[in-house]
C-alpha cells in the first residue's frame, strides 16, 4: 500500500469535500433525474406500455417534453444541501481515519478505511435525508402532470405543514441503509485505487488528473453497486402518499418483489451507472484540487 499523505486534516476535508460535492451535482444531476423517474414510475396496467421503456427513452421524453431544464429539475435542493453534505461527508471520513490512528504517521488498512467511510455516511444523513425527499418529489411531479410544489422551499414548507419534521425526514432509515455501507465502499475503493495507481516511490498526492478521474469514477461505480437496492426503496417510499406504507421499507420491499420481482430493486441501474463514473470522477477531482489549494494557502490548518 502506498503511503497516505500525513497528517490527516478533517477540517481541510470539510472544505475540499464541499467543493467536490458541487462538482458532482453539476455533472451528475441530469442522470439522477432519469434514475428517480425510472424508479418511481407507476406499474403499467395490463396491455399498456410503461411510461418509460428504459433509460434512453426516459431521457428522450424528458428532453422533448421539458427541455434541458427538465433534466435539472429539483437541482436547487441538492445544490443548497450538497456543499455542507459533502463537506460533512469528507469531514466524517477524515475524522474516521484520524480516530483510528495511534500516531500521526500510521497508515490505515483497507478495513479501517471502510470503517471511516461508514462513519461519513452516518454524518451525512442529517442533511441528505430531507434533501433527497425534496429532490425526489420535485423530479417526479413533472412526469405526473401535476404541479404541487413551485420549488424546493415551497416543497419543504408544504411537507412541514402537512406532517411536521417527520414529513421532511421521511426515509431517513433507508437513507442510512443506503449510505453507511455504500460510503464505506466508496472511500475504501478510492483509496485502494489511488494506491494501485501510484508509481513506486511516488506519493498519492502526486497522481495525475487522468488517474484521479479514473479512481474517483470507479469508486462511484462500486458505491452505487452497493447502494442501488436501498436507493430504489428510498425513492419509492419518499414519494409515496402519506400512509401508503405503514410499516416503512418492509412494505415497499414486499410490494416491489410481489408485483415486479427482485429485478425491480435494480430499477434505474443503467442511469445510475452511466452517471456514477463522470459525477464521482468530477467530485474527487474537485476534492483533490481544493485540497492542494488549501495545503498551499494554509499548510498548518
In tens, the pLDDT along 81-91 reads 677 888 999 99
User: Is 221 within 8 Å of 274 (Cβ atoms)?
Assistant: no
Q: Are 187 and 116 in contact (CB under 8 A)?
A: yes
Nearest to 224 by CA among 193, 176, 179, 256: 179
Collect the ranges in the chain with pLDDT lower than 50. Answer: 2-5
What pLDDT is attached to residue 142?
64
Phi, psi values for residue 267, rounded to 5°: -60, 140
Distance CA 75, CA 285 (A): 21
Q: Cell numbers at residue 141, please?
A: 411531479
Cis link prior to 32 (omega < 30° from 0)? no
Distance of CA 169 to the CA centre of its chain: 16
Reduced to 3 states (helix: H, G, I; strand: E, B; else coil), residue 291 is: helix
DSSP string, 19-43: HHHHHHHHHHHHHHHHHHHHHHPPP
Whether 177 and 119 have beta carbons less than 8 Å apart is answered as no
What's the pLDDT at 7?
66
Q: What domains, with CATH codes, occur in the chain?
A: 10-42+50-198+205-297 (1.50.40.10)
CA torsion through residues 287, 292, 295, 297, sign: negative
Q: Closest by alpha carbon to 41, among 239, 231, 224?
A: 239
- DSSP secondary structure code for residue 107 in this structure: P
Handedness of CA 224, 123, 2, 210 (dihedral sign): positive
What does the block give as the cell for 128?
A: 441528505
What pLDDT does residue 2 have?
47
- Backbone dihedral region of 97: left (phi > 0), alpha (psi from -120 to 50 degrees) or beta? alpha
Report the Cα 175 to chain-centroid distance in Å: 10
Q: C-alpha distances in angstroms, 158 versus 40, 141, 166, 168, 294?
A: 21, 14, 12, 9, 40
What pLDDT, on the 0 to 100 scale, is given for residue 216? 96
CA distance 148 to 137: 9
CB 104 within 8 A of CB 7: yes
pLDDT of residue 258: 92
Phi/psi at 45 (nearest 5 deg)?
-70, 160
pTM of the model: 0.79
CA distances from 192 to 109, 204, 222, 277 (A): 10, 11, 12, 16
List the grid coordinates of 227. 447502494
Amino acid at each position: 500500500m502506498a503511503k497516505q499523505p500525513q497528517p490527516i486534516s478533517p477540517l481541510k476535508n470539510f472544505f475540499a469535500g464541499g467543493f467536490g460535492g458541487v462538482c458532482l451535482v453539476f455533472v451528475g444531476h441530469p442522470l439522477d433525474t432519469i434514475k428517480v423517474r425510472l424508479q418511481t414510475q407507476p406499474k403499467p396496467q395490463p396491455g399498456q406500455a410503461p411510461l418509460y421503456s428504459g433509460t434512453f427513452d426516459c431521457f428522450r421524453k424528458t428532453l422533448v417534453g421539458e427541455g434541458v431544464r427538465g433534466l435539472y429539475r429539483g437541482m436547487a435542493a441538492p445544490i443548497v444541501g450538497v456543499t455542507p453534505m459533502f463537506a460533512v461527508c469528507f469531514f466524517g471520513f477524515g475524522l474516521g481515519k484520524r480516530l483510528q490512528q495511534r500516531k500521526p504517521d500510521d497508515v490505515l488498512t483497507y478495513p479501517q478505511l471502510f470503517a471511516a467511510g461508514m462513519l461519513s455516511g452516518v454524518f451525512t444523513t442529517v442533511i441528505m435525508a430531507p434533501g433527497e425527499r425534496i429532490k425526489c418529489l420535485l423530479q417526479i411531479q413533472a412526469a405526473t402532470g401535476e404541479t404541487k410544489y413551485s420549488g424546493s422551499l415551497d416543497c419543504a414548507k408544504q411537507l412541514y405543514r402537512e406532517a411536521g419534521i417527520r414529513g421532511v425526514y421521511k426515509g431517513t432509515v433507508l437513507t442510512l441503509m443506503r449510505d453507511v455501507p455504500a460510503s464505506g465502499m466508496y472511500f475504501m475503493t478510492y483509496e485502494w485505487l489511488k494506491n494501485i495507481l501510484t508509481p513506486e516511490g511516488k506519493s498519492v498526492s502526486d497522481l495525475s488528473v487522468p488517474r484521479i478521474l479514473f479512481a474517483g469514477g470507479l469508486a462511484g461505480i462500486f458505491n452505487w453497486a452497493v447502494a442501488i437496492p436501498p436507493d430504489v426503496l428510498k425513492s419509492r417510499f419518499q414519494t409515496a402518499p402519506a400512509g401508503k406504507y405503514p410499516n416503512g421499507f418492509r412494505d415497499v420491499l414486499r410490494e416491489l418483489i410481489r408485483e415486479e420481482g427482485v429485478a425491480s430493486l435494480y430499477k434505474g441501474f443503467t442511469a445510475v451507472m452511466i452517471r456514477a463514473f463522470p459525477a464521482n470522477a468530477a467530485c474527487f477531482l474537485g476534492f483533490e484540487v481544493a485540497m492542494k489549494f488549501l495545503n498551499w494557502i494554509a499548510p498548518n490548518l
